[in-house]
Amino acid sequence: MIHSLFLINSSGDIFLEKHWKSVVSRSVCDYFFEAQERATEAENVPPVIPTPHHYLLNVYRHKIFFVAVIQTEVPPLFVIEFLHRVVDTFQDYFGVCSEVVIKDNVVVVYEVLEEMLDNGFPLATESNILKELIKPPTILRTVVNTITGSTNVGDQLPTGQLSVVPWRRTGVKYTNNEAYFDVIEEIDAIIDKSGSTITAEIQGVIDACVKLTGMPDLTLSFMNPRLLDDVSFHPCVRFKRWESERILSFIPPDGNFRLLSYHVSAQNLVAIPVYVKHNISFRDSSSLGRFEITVGPKQTMGKTVEGVMVTSQMPKGVLNMSLTPSQGMHTFDPVTKLLSWDVGKINPQKLPNLKGTMSLQAGTSKPDENPTINLQFKIQQLAISGLKVNRLDMYGEKYKPFKGIKYMTKAGKFQVRT
Amino acid sequence: MSASPAYSEEKGGSSSLGEPEYGHDPASGGIFSSDYKRHDDLKEMLDSNKDSLKLEAMKRIVAMIARGKNASDLFPAVVKNVACKNIEVKKLVYVYLVRYAEEQQDLALLSISTFQRGLKDPNQLIRASALRVLSSIRVPIIVPIMMLAIKEAASDMSPYVRKTAAHAIPKLYSLDSDQKDQLIEVIEKLLADKTTLVAGSVVMAFEEVCPERIDLIHKNYRKLCNLLIDVEEWGQVVIINMLTRYARTQFLSPNQNESLLEENPEKAFYGSDEEDSKDDKLDAASLVKRKPYVMDPDHRLLLRNTKPLLQSRNAAVVMAVAQLYFHLAPKAEVGVIAKALVRLLRSHSEVQWVVLQNVATMSIKRRGMFEPYLKSFYIRSTDPTQIKILKLEVLTNLANETNISTILREFQTYIRSMDKDFVAATIQAIGRCATNIGKVRDTCLNGLVQLLSNRDELVVAESVVVIKKLLQMQPSQHSEIIKHMAKLTDNIQVPMARASILWLIGEYCEHVPKIAPDVLRKMSKSFTGEEDIVKLQVINLAAKLYLTNSKQSKLLTQYVLNLAKYDQNYDIRDRARFIRQLIVPTEKSGALNKYAKKLFLAQKPAPILESSFKDRDHFQLGSLSHLLNAKAVGYQELPDWPDEAPDPSVRNVEVPEWTKCTSREKRKEKVEKPFYSDSEGESGPTESADSDPESVSETESESGSSSSSSESGSDSGSRGEESGDQSEEEEEKKKKKKKKGKEGPRKACPESAGSDPSEEEEEQEQGKKGKKKKPQDEGKGASESSWEEGSVSESSSSKSDSGSEAEESQSEPESRRRTTVRGQPPSSKPAPKASRKETKEISLLDLDDFTPAPPQPASSPAIVSTSLVTDLEGLTLTNASLAPTMLSPVFSTVKTYELLHRMAGEGLSVEYYFNRQPFPPDPHMVAVQIQFSNNTESEVKNLRVSEPKLVSGMRIQEFQEIESLAPGDTASVIMGIDFCDSTQAANFQLCTHSRQFYVSIQPPVGELMAPVFMSENEFKKEQGKLTGMSEITEKLTLPDKCQSDHTIVQRVTAAANVSRVPCGADNEYRFAAKTVTSGSLILITLERKEGARAHLTVNSEKMVIGTMLVQDISQALAQ
């Protein structure tokens, strides 16, 4: 399946290569560079590039291209999903996934990659299993290893590999037993000129951080499980139980994991928590344009909207902008034409407002399109879909865990057309 | 290879990379700086006695390998350490060996004995890794050794080692394909393996070595289907893809009836949206004519067992299931995948890209599937261009008469985008919409013409090209547009656009007789400077003008042809020569000249603008070949359905005596068995045996908590296989689960007689599990009872000892009711209730004396507030055990709906109505009374429900099978449906002994609720909580005949299953209910204002239900 993997940084250096079958010359990457050149932007590089003898499948994350070389028919998503899993694993191991970190930990990276694939077929991709096979480097462990001569490599088969709960390590011990769940919802929306919603969807996830001793068996129930009509689960969730009772029943992996992600589709009514009033106008004759936007809260269930950030890609003709915000900071980059305004909290009594003029290139006619406004915001303690966790119970262990649930609503891809 | 080139290469590369691994190494400082000795220090370190030095050296070597530097000259030094005690050194040596053994085969042989020793190690990890490295080093000499090792490992007791063996098979095969036969034997053996760990890997090996040996799968088919959900995600993908192919060879097409109906496939393609809606009817109609298609149970098994995987977090798994459904499922069921695919669109952009390509292909074949998700494909300005273009493709495919206006409005926004490639694609898309949907052709054309004045040349050029194609369909009406375009030749520089304009003018020169010669004049002036494609069109234009208007253009044409004669491009020279011969009459060119006009001015068919994704579905979806639209190396064709189904018995597996009943025949029998009858625990041995594997599979998924060793994992897998069909109807399963606790231990005794000890042991273990589960359930029951109404009865029945009793008592009233109801005429009132409930009713009736025709109030423990309880204390209502959960209102008019018309049902007609009774087996279900009447000449037997196709979350409690229905007879049964508080229809099949009918029940919103009794204060309090978004108000005017209290109340209660709430004010009416499934309150207030005006307010946290209810009620009142 996956023949080789090349890691390429943004300047086009191949800084790591790994082969699971016979070696494929790195010159194969020339086809990739060609495609990259053609695409002009990194995000437009086609994920699948056919070459005379190989196929290059790549993903772009953290400013690194992960290019997998394959030779025969394989479901492309299989490879792409695996590459993303590799990135997630690196992130899990080293905290961040960047060129520098990978270079610093090149041996660990290599060992991990070796375990993840055998002959190009995924072998161990659960990070809990991998961490038992190859322990993540920490300063303490490095010191201990140099003194005692012990290693980072486990010599026993991780128990998870064989059990029916491969995602969980055995012998987990904590002094403070805690389980935290974050319900995070992102609103994807397109709002049209007049302020009406063209499409709005909610993408929710429940991220969990479970640090519980032993083999706890948890059940999580919701006040209104009907909201979740389209869900995907971590493999630990017992699907049948969900089907019949709408209860999440699972033995959690140790540490951080995504329990569930769900989608409340465009067909349902989605409350939009903010509105944007805008007045952006270019005039054909003059080289000055007017610009004014106001952001205000709407349907926030009494919660404060914070972390508001407005960005907008201005048309090429805009040379500069002179704006005054009523609060927050704003910047305009005359090269990339990107306007960003860090608003902060919205005070419903005094709505944040950004107002001023744009100077346009003299002589050119006015742009066809007004810029779209991208919005980011956060609302704490609110799940906009109305999802509520009812209770969390633990079975299988005797102690009483500390439980916590947090709700948050964020803007996902939130766009206002002007 | 010498060290020096390696080093210099390394140095060259390292400047940009930094060398962290050298930086902190003291040994690499000044001492060994000499080029030649660079690797000597590593060799020295490797030769030392200290593990730490060896480790350091190996790390540095691996770092070199990772960066693509050559480290092959270190081979002898490294290979010596293959037997090193330090496990990390050993692992790194393995990494090195796998990388370089191919280049240094002789030296690599030195390490073989170590691996052979490793293969015998007691530690399974070491055995596995020895096999892994041995099979990875690609040295042909050791093929026999590898073969032997694989064979041995294939029967290793550790499943992990067996998995490694499965991985080794394709490695050996790629090294020496002569071993194929022997390897197939190993594959065959491993395919029979019962652990989930091995399944994925061995199917992978099967796919690489012998994908054509589909016969190997037969015996393992059911096992694979059943294990699938527990296989690791990557294995799932491979297995699902393989099973798709398998199913295509073994089963009949589930859509064969439809495909026979479609006489013209081309026509069906565009008309498919209408067809989809008629699907069910067509199905029924075609079934009448043809031999009924019955889906092979194994086919169904596959569909059923893969469906839950749509919920996987792994996009590849979701895609695999989606393609399986697309290729294998009956048309009506394919829809389920749309939601999951749309969900994937939120993922990383690469995933989006792949998914969109597949959606594009699917949306051509099955447009209806994605129509509800149209808005999910709307484009954001931040999407990468390649995603935008794919989304556009999907939007275009989804366009039809109903949604075209929204889509075009959306396209208008896109046209103004700054991303010009995307704008060009949008214009193309508009063109395609215009050709496909005649209604909007003129609108589109006008829009495109407006774009001709756009400032951006690319936009204009693209529009010209598209307009040209559109005009070709009806040129006569659009001479204005052609004139307008003729003017554009002055400005437009894009060759394709210029060529298009010239062609248009030439083609329709009779519509623009004045302009055409002038255009030719201009073009001949600039002829030499034009692109080739434009020149060709100039020649064409000249030729056509010469034929139609030779007076004005004769000289011009000759001039152009002369210019072309000396052109650099031979195509143009050829064309000029050919045209000259054709149009200019000379002595020699006699025959053809006459026909020149016919040749040039023939009617040309309008081009069909079609998607580039059309017909891509002959490639298996989700595959690389589909993505590239070209066959990739190693792609296995997706075979066509066979005309005759191959023998299904090949999949039968020899099973021990006591599990026989799970084979096909028995399974059928079980379906036919009355639903409640299996609740008795004291049934015969077959009964207990067949429920047994199910409970095993249950424990497998349920009780991961119990510390299960690898053995138990594998055993439960095998049981799954033996059971053949572990996924029974949900309902039945639930029952079993409740009984599990008591069944486990009991079963151990009868079976120990016939089965081998290991099974017995497992049996006991399972019993333990069952027991273990019990306290949990109890605990849960206790905790739940406080907050989840209705769960009380459930949890009590799950207590092992009281289980059967509880069930009996549960089924008792049900069966009693059924007997009373059966045989009643359809128009009659709902059946009287059990006597103890009746007494209750009376006492409540007294209380509710102010409503003339009282919709009877209901009470439920969760909603009856304490205040109410105290209110009613005098009526001894506090006795909780007596309180019925709901009471049904009595109605004079019950609305009946048709489920199956007499004609469609071949004489069997079925009607249903909502009897508004509580459904005791499950309080979350809506009771539906179904009335069968047999209008045929013969007896109808075995009336039952099968294969419900439900929206997720929806559940059906089937009615008991009606064994026979004599001609002219009627029968009535009750079934329960949990609609999940939505008005989505519940689709299922109604089966008789000979036929099956697709039917669906769609509830009016008013039936999704059950009345609740409340006091006025209580109502106000609850209403106070449900304000804001949960409140929906509408103003309405009451018609004359609907002014009296009585009619108003009656109409409201007829529209919805609600009960009246007392109210102090006399111009106000209040009603309360709660939804059946989730129990959320619905409060209705109707306030009469002066005149005939009134305000209707509905408070409910279910906004959708609220909105629909307001509509329904105001409609009912307005009548």
Q: Please, are residues A56 and A31 in contact by the beta-carbon 8 Å criterion? A: yes
**pLDDT-wise least confident of A180-184, B327-331, B703-707:** B703-707
- pLDDT surpassing 70 at residue B257: no
Question: What percentage of chain A's residues is helix, strand, coil (to nearest 5)?
Answer: 20, 45, 35
What pLDDT sits at residue A76? 92
Is B416–A23 a contact, with Cβ atoms under 8 angstroms apart? no
Chain A residues with CB under 8 Å of B982 CB are 226
Is residue B668 very low, low, confident or very high in pLDDT (cuts 50, 70, 90)? very low
Q: Please, are residues A64 and A8 in contact by the beta-carbon 8 Å criterion? A: yes
Nearest to B66 among A106, A219, A367 (CB): A106
Interface test with B, best of A20, A45, A77 (most B CBs within 10 A): A77
What pLDDT sits at residue A6? 93
Is B91–A58 a contact, with Cβ atoms under 8 angstroms apart? no
Q: Report A:45-64 residues touching B (Cβ under 8 A).
A: 46-48, 50, 55, 58-61
The residue of chain B with its CA nearest to that of A368 is B416
Residue B31 CB: number of other CB atoms within 10 A? 10
pLDDT tens profile B566-582: 888 888 898 888 888 88
Is B622–A77 a contact, with Cβ atoms under 8 angstroms apart? yes
Q: Please, are residues A123 and A115 in contact by the beta-carbon 8 Å criterion? A: yes
The residue of chain B with its CA nearest to that of A124 is B232
* Angle (nearest 5°) at CA B134 between B130 and B138: 160
Question: Partners of A276 in the beta sheet?
Answer: A295
What pLDDT sits at residue B689? 38
**8-state DSSP, A391:** E
Long-range contacts of B596-604 (CB under 8 A, 24+ apart): B596/B547, B597/B547, B600/B540, B600/B543, B600/B544, B600/B547, B601/B544, B601/B547, B601/B548, B604/B472, B604/B507
Nearest to A162 among B201, B315, B710 (CB): B710
Is residue A207 very low, low, confident or very high in pLDDT (cuts 50, 70, 90)? very high
What pLDDT sits at residue A81? 93
Question: What percentage of chain B's residues is helix, strand, coil (to nearest 5)?
Answer: 60, 10, 30
- pLDDT surpassing 80 at residue B811: no
Is B234–A121 a contact, with Cβ atoms under 8 angstroms apart? yes
| Distance in angstroms (rounded) separating the CA atoms of residues B360 and B136 | 40
Chain A residues with CB under 8 Å of B454 CB are 368
Q: Please, are residues B1040 and B1105 in contact by the beta-carbon 8 Å criterion? A: no
pLDDT tens profile B985-1009: 788 888 787 777 778 888 888 888 8
Q: Report B:104-123 residues touching A (Cβ under 8 A).
A: 123
B811 or A76: which leads in pLDDT: A76
Average pLDDT over residues B880-890: 40
* Angle (nearest 5°) at CA B699 between B693 and B700: 90
Q: Average per-residue pLDDT in chain B?
A: 72
How many Cβ contacts (< 8 angstroms) between chains A and B? 322
Tell me the percentage of chain A whose pLDDT exceeds 70: 90
Q: Per residue, what are the HEC states of B682-737? A: CCCHHHHHHHHHHHHHHHHHHCCCCCCCHHHHHHHHHHHHHHCCCCCCHHHHHHHH
Nearest to A19 among B17, B99, B953 (CB): B99
DSSP B43-73: HHHHHSS-HHHHHHHHHHHHHHHHTT---GG
- pLDDT surpassing 70 at residue B28: no
**pLDDT-wise least confident of A42-51, A222-231, B280-289, B787-796:** B787-796
Is A118–B164 a contact, with Cβ atoms under 8 angstroms apart? yes
Is B128–A391 a contact, with Cβ atoms under 8 angstroms apart? no
Q: Mention every residue, 6+ apart, whose C-beta is less than 8 A from residue B1066.
A: none
Q: Which of A225, A229, A247, A249 is nearest to A237 (CA)?
A: A249
Q: Please, are residues A325 and A352 in contact by the beta-carbon 8 Å criterion? A: yes
pLDDT tens profile B115-146: 888 888 888 888 888 898 888 888 888 888 88
B823 or A315: which leads in pLDDT: A315
In Å, how far are A393, B166, B487, B886, B1053 from B858, measured between CA atoms? 32, 63, 78, 5, 13
Average pLDDT over residues A271-278: 87
pLDDT tens profile B1098-1111: 888 877 788 888 88
Is B625–A73 a contact, with Cβ atoms under 8 angstroms apart? yes
How far is the alpha carbon of B312 from chain A, nearest alpha carbon, in Å? 5
Sort strands A402-416 and A178-191 into parallel, antiparallel or unpaired.
Answer: parallel
What pLDDT sits at residue A182? 93
What pLDDT sits at residue B587? 64
How far is the alpha carbon of A243 from chain B, nearest alpha carbon, in Å? 6
What pLDDT sits at residue B772? 45
Is B343–A110 a contact, with Cβ atoms under 8 angstroms apart? no
Average pLDDT over residues B210-219: 87
| CA B828 to the chain's CA centroid | 43
How far is the alpha carbon of A165 from chain B, nearest alpha carbon, in Å? 7
Q: Report B:376-395 residues touching A (Cβ under 8 A).
A: 376, 378, 380-382, 384-386
In Å, how far are A386, B468, B1027, B1109 from B1074, measured between CA atoms? 18, 61, 16, 12
Is B624–A76 a contact, with Cβ atoms under 8 angstroms apart? yes
Is residue A157 very low, low, confident or very high in pLDDT (cuts 50, 70, 90)? low
B132 or B839: which leads in pLDDT: B132
The residue of chain B with its CA nearest to that of A79 is B316
The residue of chain B with its CA nearest to that of A5 is B66
- Which option is the CATH number for A178-270+382-416: 1.10.10.10, 2.60.40.1170, 2.30.38.10, 3.40.640.10? 2.60.40.1170
Q: Please, are residues B239 and B228 in contact by the beta-carbon 8 Å criterion? A: yes
pLDDT tens profile A378-398: 998 888 888 888 888 888 888
Residues A342-372 as b or e (16 or more Cβ within 10 Å = b): bbeebeeeeebbbeeebebeeeeebbbbbbb
Sequence-ordered strand ranges (E) for A20-113:
48-50, 55-61, 64-70
Q: Please, are residues B101 and B132 in contact by the beta-carbon 8 Å criterion? A: no
* Angle (nearest 5°) at CA B448 between B446 and B453: 105
Q: What sign does the CA torsion over B417, B423, B425, B431 have?
A: positive
Is A226–B953 a contact, with Cβ atoms under 8 angstroms apart? yes
**8-state DSSP, A356:** E
The residue of chain B with its CA nearest to that of A199 is B375
What pLDDT sits at residue A59? 92
B266 or B324: which leads in pLDDT: B324
Chain B residues with CB under 8 Å of A73 CB are 623-625, 632-636
Chain B residues with CB under 8 Å of A26 CB are 68
- pLDDT surpassing 50 at residue B389: yes
Domain ranges in chain A are 2-148, 178-270+382-416, 274-380
**A351–chain B Cβ distance below 8 A for any pair:** no
Is B730–A271 a contact, with Cβ atoms under 8 angstroms apart? no
What pLDDT sits at residue A146? 62
| CA B548 to the chain's CA centroid | 59
Residue B594 CB: number of other CB atoms within 10 A? 10
Q: What sign does the CA torsion over B606, B611, B612, B615 have?
A: negative
Q: ipTM of the predicted structure?
A: 0.89
| Distance in angstroms (rounded) separating the CA atoms of residues A189 and A202 | 9
DSSP B460-473: HHHHHHHHHHHHTT
**pLDDT-wise least confident of B836-845, B980-989, B1026-1035:** B836-845
Average pLDDT over residues A295-303: 81
pLDDT tens profile B511-548: 778 888 888 888 888 888 888 888 888 888 888 888 88
What pLDDT sits at residue A159? 60
Residue B380 CB: number of other CB atoms within 10 A? 18
Is residue B604 very low, low, confident or very high in pLDDT (cuts 50, 70, 90)? confident
**For residue B476, what are its two tokens?**
């006569």
- pLDDT surpassing 90 at residue B212: no
- pLDDT surpassing 80 at residue B473: no
**A37–chain B Cβ distance below 8 A for any pair:** no
Is B67–A26 a contact, with Cβ atoms under 8 angstroms apart? no
Q: What is the helix (H) or strand (E) element at residue B518, kind and residue range?
A: helix B515-526
Architecture of domain A2-148: 2-Layer Sandwich (3.30)
Tell me the percentage of chain A whose pLDDT exceeds 90: 18
What's this model's pTM, rounded to 2 decimal places?
A: 0.65
- pLDDT surpassing 60 at residue B94: yes
Q: Average per-residue pLDDT in chain A?
A: 85
- pLDDT surpassing 80 at residue B27: no
What pLDDT sits at residue B258? 58
Question: Partners of B456 in the beta sheet?
Answer: none
Is residue B692 very low, low, confident or very high in pLDDT (cuts 50, 70, 90)? very low
Q: Please, are residues A131 and A89 in contact by the beta-carbon 8 Å criterion? A: no
pLDDT tens profile B51-84: 788 888 888 888 888 888 888 888 888 888 888 8
What pLDDT sits at residue B893? 56
Q: Do domains A178-270+382-416 and A274-380 have the same CATH topology?
A: yes
What's the alpha-carbon Rg for chain A, to the nearest Å? Answer: 25
CATH topology of domain A274-380: Immunoglobulin-like (2.60.40)
What's the alpha-carbon Rg for chain B, to the nearest Å? Answer: 38
Is residue B263 very low, low, confident or very high in pLDDT (cuts 50, 70, 90)? very low
Nearest to B343 among A18, A166, A263 (CB): A263
Q: Please, are residues A111 and A134 in contact by the beta-carbon 8 Å criterion? A: yes
**pLDDT-wise least confident of A325-329, B203-207, B532-536, B749-753:** B749-753
Average pLDDT over residues A331-338: 88
Q: Report A:270-309 residues touching B (Cβ under 8 A).
A: 271, 299
Chain A residues with CB under 8 Å of B771 CB are none
Length of chain B: 1119
A394 or B960: which leads in pLDDT: A394
- pLDDT surpassing 70 at residue B718: no
What pLDDT sits at residue A4? 92
- pLDDT surpassing 60 at residue B290: no
* Angle (nearest 5°) at CA B376 between A221 and B364: 120
Q: Please, are residues B750 and B686 in contact by the beta-carbon 8 Å criterion? A: no
- pLDDT surpassing 80 at residue B875: no
Chain B residues with CB under 8 Å of A71 CB are 633-634
Nearest to B376 among A74, A164, A266 (CB): A266
B826 or A115: which leads in pLDDT: A115
Is B67–A123 a contact, with Cβ atoms under 8 angstroms apart? no
Average pLDDT over residues A173-197: 88
Nearest to B776 among A153, A190, A395 (CB): A395
How far is the alpha carbon of A355 from chain B, nearest alpha carbon, in Å? 23
pLDDT tens profile B721-762: 444 444 444 444 444 444 444 444 444 444 444 444 444 444
- pLDDT surpassing 60 at residue B13: no
What pLDDT sits at residue A162? 61
Chain B residues with CB under 8 Å of A366 CB are none
**A143–chain B Cβ distance below 8 A for any pair:** no
B660 or A279: which leads in pLDDT: A279
What pLDDT sits at residue A417? 86
How far is the alpha carbon of A261 from chain B, nearest alpha carbon, in Å? 8
Q: Report B:766-805 residues touching A (Cβ under 8 A).
A: 776, 779-780, 783, 787-788
Q: What is the helix (H) or strand (E) element at residue A415, kind and residue range?
A: strand A402-416
Q: What are phi and psi of A383, to 5 degrees?
A: -110, 115
Length of chain A: 418
In Å, how far are B399, B738, B796, B808 from B805, measured between CA atoms? 58, 12, 10, 5
